[in-house]
Amino acid sequence: MKKAIQNRINAINEMLPIVEKHELSTGHLATTMAGSTYESFVILTKPIEVKNQFVYIHEDKGYHAYGFDKRYNVNNEWQFDQLKYDLSIIKRAFNKLIKKQ
**CB-based contact 59:44 (threshold 8 Å):** yes
Instruction: Tell me the pLDDT of the chain (101 aa) as tens digits.
Output: 789 999 999 999 999 999 999 988 888 899 999 878 889 999 999 999 999 999 999 998 887 888 888 899 999 999 999 999 999 999 999 999 999 86
Please enumerate in sequence order all residues whose Cβ is within 8 A of that of 86, keeping only pairs 6 or more positions apart, or say none.
57, 68, 69, 72
**What per-residue confidence (pLDDT) applies to 80?**
95
**What per-residue confidence (pLDDT) applies to 62?**
80
**What per-residue confidence (pLDDT) applies to 61?**
83
